[in-house]
Amino acid sequence: MPIGYLALVLHAHLPFVRHPEYEYFLEEEWMYEAIMETYLPLIEIFDKLVADRVPFELTMTISPPLATMLEDPLLQERYIKYFDKVMELTGKECMRTRQDPHFAYLAEFYRQRLEVAREIYRDRYQCNILNAFRKYQQMGVLEIVTCGATHAFLPNYAVQPEAVRAQIQIATDHYRETFGRDPKGIWLPECGYFPRLDEFLAEADIRFFFMDAHGILHSTPRPLYGTYAPVFCPGSGVAAFGRDLECSKQVWSSKEGYPGDPDYREFYRDIGFDLDQEYIARYVQPDGKRKNTGIKYYRITGEVDLGAKAPYDPYRALQKADLHAGNFMFNRERQVEYAHGVMGKPPIVVAPYDAELFGHWWYEGPIWLEYLIRKIAYDQNVFQLITPANFLRKHDTHQVCAPSFSSWGDQGYASYWLDGANDWIYRHLHEMGFRMIEAANRYPVPSLLQRRLLNQAARELLLAQSSDWPFIMKAGTMVEYAVGRIKRHAARFFKLLDQLESDRVDEAWVSKVEFLDNIFPHIDYRKFHSV
For 507-531, the pLDDT digits (tens) are 999 999 999 999 999 999 999 998 7
- Closest by alpha carbon to 252, among 376, 145, 406, 355? 355
> Rounded to 5 degrees, what angle do the CA atoms 270, 276, 279 make?
95
Domain that holds residue 430: 418-528
Whether 422 is covered by a domain: the verdict is yes
CB contact set of 442 (below 8 Å; sequence gap of 6+): none
Residue 317 included in any domain: no
Final residue in a domain of this structure, among 392, 411, 430 = 411
For the segment 92-149, what is each residue's pLDDT rounded down to a tens digit?
A: 999 999 999 999 999 999 999 999 999 999 999 999 999 999 999 999 999 999 999 9
pLDDT beyond 90 at 253:
no
Q: Is the domain of 442 the same as that of 498?
A: yes
- If pLDDT is split at 50, 70 and 90, which confidence band does 249 have? confident
* 307 lies in some domain: no
Q: How far apart are CA 158 and CA 71, in angstroms?
A: 32
Q: pLDDT at residue 397 above 80?
A: yes
Q: Are residues 65 and 89 in the same domain?
A: no
Residue 339 lies in a domain: no
In the prediction, which pLDDT does 252 show? 80
Q: Is residue 65 one of the residues assigned to a domain?
A: yes
Residues 497 and 456 in one domain: yes
Query: Is 220 in the same domain as 353?
Result: yes
**Is residue 296, in this structure, part of any structural domain at all?**
no
Q: Tell me what pLDDT residue 31 has.
A: 97
Same domain, 50 and 89: no
Q: Residue 183: pLDDT band by 50, 70, 90 thresholds?
A: very high
Buried b / exposed e along 406-428 (16+ C-beta atoms within 10 A): bbbbeebbbebbbeeebeebbee
Please identify, among 127, 162, 196, the residue that sits at the C-terminal boundary of a domain: 127
Query: Which CATH number covers residue 11?
Result: 3.20.110.10
Dump pLDDT digits (tens) for 325-369: 999 999 999 999 999 999 999 999 999 999 999 999 999 999 999
Model pLDDT, residue 531: 74
Nearest to 28 by CA among 89, 81, 90: 81
Q: Give pLDDT, residue 276.
A: 95
How confident is residue 256, by pLDDT bands cut at 50, 70 and 90?
confident
Same domain, 475 and 441: yes
User: 369 by DSSP, 3-state: which?
Assistant: helix
Q: What is the mean pLDDT of the chain?
A: 97
Please say whether the beta carbons of 43 and 120 come within 8 A. Answer: yes
Domains held by the chain: number: 3
158 plus 201 within the same structural domain = yes
Q: Answer positive or negative: Cα dihedral of 285, 289, 294, 297.
A: positive
Bridge partners, residue 362, by sequence: 358
Phi, psi for residue 266 in degrees, rounded to 5:
-80, 120
Residues 384, 453, single domain; the answer is no
Per-residue pLDDT at 232: 98
The pairing of strands 239-242 and 208-211 is parallel
Task: Give 128-132 contacts, CB < 8 A, sequence gap 24+.
Answer: 128/70, 128/71, 128/76, 129/35, 129/39, 129/40, 129/43, 129/70, 130/62, 130/67, 130/70, 130/71, 130/178, 132/43, 132/46, 132/47
Does residue 291 lie in a domain region?
Answer: no
At 255, is the pLDDT very low, low, confident or very high (cuts 50, 70, 90)? confident
Give residue-wise pLDDT tens across range 5-19: 999 999 999 999 999
**In the prediction, which pLDDT does 394 show?**
96
**CB–CB of 189/152 below 8 Å?**
yes
Report how far residue 266's alpha carbon sits from residue 298's, in angstroms, rounded to the nearest whole number: 6
For residues 52 and 21, state if they share a domain.
yes
Residues 427 and 521 in one domain: yes
User: ∠ CA 277-283-285 to the nearest 5 degrees?
Assistant: 85
The domain that holds 507 is classified in CATH as 1.20.1430.10
Q: pLDDT (tens digit, 9 = 90+) per residue, 455-468?
A: 999 999 999 999 99
pLDDT, tens only, 30-68: 999 999 999 999 999 999 999 999 999 999 999 999 999
Percent of the chain with pLDDT over 70: 100
Please indicate, yes or no, if residue 446 is contained in any of the structural domains: yes
| 23-27, 145-149, 308-312: least confidently modelled range | 23-27
The answer to whether residues 63 and 160 belong to one domain is yes
Last residue of a domain, one of 374, 396, 411: 411
pLDDT category of residue 73 using cuts at 50, 70 and 90: very high
Measured distance CA(264)–CA(254) in Å, rounded:
11
Of 282, 242, 265, give the one whose Cα is nearest residue 81: 282
Go through the chain and tell me how many residues it has: 531
Mark whether 512 and 489 lie in a shared domain: yes
At 318, which amino acid appears?
L
